[in-house]
Amino acid sequence: MSSRETATARRAGWRRAMRPRSSEEEHRAATPLELLFDLCFVVAVAQAAASLHHAESEAHIGSGLIGYVMVFFAIWWAWMNFTWFASAYDTDDVPYRLTTLVIIAGVLIMAAGVPHAFAEKDFTIPTIGYAVMRLGMVALWLRAAAGHPAGRACALKYAGGIALVQAAWLARLALPEQIGVPAFGVLALAELAVPVWAERGTRTDWHAGHIAERYGLLTLIMLGESVLAATLAIQEGVDTGEASAAELLTIGFSGMVIVFAMWWLYFEHPASDILAAGNRVAFPWGYGHFFVFSSIAAVGAGLAVSVDADLHRAHLGPAAVGLVVAVPVAVYLLSVWLVHIRPHRPGPAVTAGFPAAAALALAAAFTPVPLPVIAAILAGLVAVVLAASYRQARG
């Protein structure tokens, strides 16, 4: 049966029993609904990155990073939970599509509240949006429990765990502000523990190739968001005429090289063969992408701060301006290395190259021209990876 015939068969009837799809299904690809889902989630990411950009420019780096991590965790966790669920149980019927719409509505509510959360430290609207997303997932897991008897125990654990933690998130709104951050840390750990507990001794039938593609697509969208953030900042510099063309060209070209190198390094190795090992590898790989995704968006915010510095609008010294790009680049390199490259056993040159490049990127923040130096370091790492791949291919 062709992929078109398979999709047609799955759409027959407005509602079907929610049974797992085969983890060995051929030609499994992201659906148009999943792509729409990703684009709507990136709206919230763009709001978080823009708020981080403004906090960094105003020299409120500590509070800005705390707010960014909190908001980004909620966005990433809701995206990740739906993505893995959909890989196993996507029925593509009317109730499934409508429930997905509810989850999308939740992330848009969250996105609307992000600027206020950063400015006023009021997370009421983002928490409400998060609750909408998570209750949508509870509904999906309950439906899976009803339609898939063999996976009922696992599905009910997911539904119960999500509902319980979500109740705690809502209760957190009543806590004093000074214990809000510690409470967030406890609840974030509880969220991370739910899948580990639910899948103990079992495994949902997610598709390794499909998951790898979904993560790759979100990586591409995140990189695009970073490019957009930097482009809008440069455009503002051009429109105001407050920065020289040479400065803006330097930032633009350096940013382009950095983002392109980040893309190259991520997609040099496929992830599907790593994920084939099952949950033992899938959990650290999936969880580790929090740092991959959040650092990509933070690079875009840092590039925008660099433009602010050239426009004399950033309340930061030269080294701090360099660090707001160098730190997320270093986090990206280390996280991609740990979860995405190292499992491939790429050889000593690449093994040393990623940590060394991360350290050099941090050191570059203290040079007179940090962005071009960081771009050159990443370009050099790409060259090392290419040379190692060529050598390995020749045997």
DSSP for 238-285?
HHHT-S-HHHHHHHHHHHHHHHHHHHHHHHTS-SHHHHTT-HHHHHHH
Q: What are phi and psi of 316, to 5 degrees?
A: -135, 150
Average pLDDT in the 5-27 region?
72
Range with the largest mean pLDDT of 151-165, 243-257, 267-281: 151-165
What average pLDDT does range 85-93 have in this prediction? 93
pLDDT mean over 56-66? 92
- The pLDDT value recorded for residue 22 is 83
Residues 94-117, mean pLDDT to the nearest whole number:
94
**Phi-psi group of 25: left, alpha or beta (phi > 0 → left; psi -120 to 50 → alpha; rest → beta):** beta
| DSSP symbols for 105-154 | HHHHHHHHHHHHHHHH---HHHHHHHHHHHHHHHHHHHHHHHH-GGGHHH
Residue 47 predicted with pLDDT over 90: yes
**Per-residue pLDDT averaged across 67-86, rounded?**
95
**213 alpha-carbon distance from chain centroid:** 14
Alpha carbon distance 172, 371 (integer Å): 40
pLDDT for the residue numbered 1: 43
Between these two residues, 386 and 329, which has the higher pLDDT value? 329
**Hey, which CATH number is domain 208-393, 1.20.1410, 3.40.1130, 1.10.1220, 1.10.860?**
1.20.1410
State the pLDDT at residue 28: 87
State the pLDDT confidence band at 216, using cuts at 50, 70 and 90.
Answer: very high
Grade residue 8 by pLDDT with cuts at 50, 70 and 90: low
Average pLDDT of the chain is 90
pLDDT of residue 13: 63
Q: Give domain limits for the chain.
A: 29-198, 208-393
**pLDDT of the residue at 2:** 45
pLDDT (0 to 100) of residue 395:
58
pLDDT in tens, 312-345: 888 898 999 999 999 999 999 999 999 988 887 7
pLDDT band at 23 (very low <50, low <70, confident <90, very high): confident
Residue type, 120: E
**Residues 283-293: tens digit of each pLDDT:** 999 999 999 99
Tens of pLDDT, residue by residue over 257-304, are: 999 999 999 998 878 878 877 788 889 999 999 999 999 999 999 999
- The answer on pLDDT for 181 being more than 50 is yes
